[in-house]
Amino acid sequence: MYPTKYTKAASIDDAVKALGADEEAKILSGGQTLIATMKQHLAAPTGLVDVRSIAGMVGTSLDGDTLVIGAATTHAEVAGSAEVQKHTPALACLASGIGDPAVRHAGTIGGSVANNDPAADYPAALLALGATVVTNQREIGADDFFDGLFGTALEEGEIITAVKFPKAQAAAYVKFRQPASLFALVGVFVAKGSDGIRVTVTGAGDEGVFRSEALEAALTGDWSEAAAKGADVSAEGLMSDIHGTAAYRANLIKVMAARAVAAA
């Protein structure tokens, strides 16, 4: 065992102060990844700064055509939110399919986004919908936020406070689950918005979530299941492991994309 100081932050300033006082401290939100890695002794933070009780970091709201979700909002709360279901039903559907009920009632959108697991669902949604990550210091577009496996644009002392989603004309997310972990073996999010067609893939890339140029080009010319199935999706840069080869994942990306277009 090792000593770990727990701090329940009452405000963003409290959280920033606690993080500044201990360079080995970590932010605790849902803890679905952090606590598990601590149990396995793969992480040993000297401090945990709990941000779940900070006012304004929990809940969903609409600001005109923009959906705002507090970073400490759980997956279950996102899935059940009337605002999310009205604004972006695909996001509510995505949240309802994360993990199991225990995970959905503990894990948070901010924690998932900050962790950027290569098989997580939310990064695909943010990238496809052109979302904006709001921190205590600035706002970061999704295109500039995700940076390879578990990498993000977050700097030391920077805390995600909310995520903003513009309204899409049509959107859907479909994933093929790895049956043991329930993570996406391949997940595809398709969205048609004011800036055109965006298609993102999670669970398949060597470098984490990514946009599929091949599918975006195919669906821009023909928004149909047939166009998705006929796209030239390369296996280059895709993972190969015990669950599936890169070639298998490349084909599965097209299948999931076609199903997402049908759902959208």
User: Chain centroid to CA 179: how far?
Assistant: 19
Measured on CA atoms in the order 78, 47, 43, 152, is the torsion positive or negative? positive
Nearest by Cα to 216 from 250, 191, 236: 191
Strand order in the sheet with 170-177: 170-177, 184-193, 196-202, 210-211
Pairing assessment for the beta strands 47-50 and 25-28 based on DSSP bridges: parallel
Q: Which residues of the chain have pLDDT under 70?
A: 1
Amino acid, res. 70: G
pLDDT at 23: 87
Distance, CA of 230 to CA of 256 (rounded, Å)? 12
Q: What's the rounded Cα separation, in Å, for the pair 131 and 251?
A: 27
At residue 157, the pLDDT reads 87
Secondary structure of the chain: what % helix, strand, coil (to 5)? 35, 25, 40
Q: How far apart are CA 135 and CA 112, in angstroms?
A: 14
Q: 190 forms bridges with which residues in the sheet?
A: 172, 199
pLDDT for position 1: 58
- Number of neighbours of residue 183 by Cβ within 10 angstroms: 18
Helical packing angle, 213-221 and 246-263, nearest 10° = 40
- Domains belonging to the chain, first-starting first, are 60-165 (3.30.465.10), 170-263 (3.30.390.50)
pLDDT tens column, 172-230: 999 999 888 889 999 999 999 988 999 999 999 999 999 999 999 999 989 999 999 99
Question: DSSP assignment of 14-40, as one string?
Answer: HHHHHHHH-TTEEEESS-TTHHHHHHT
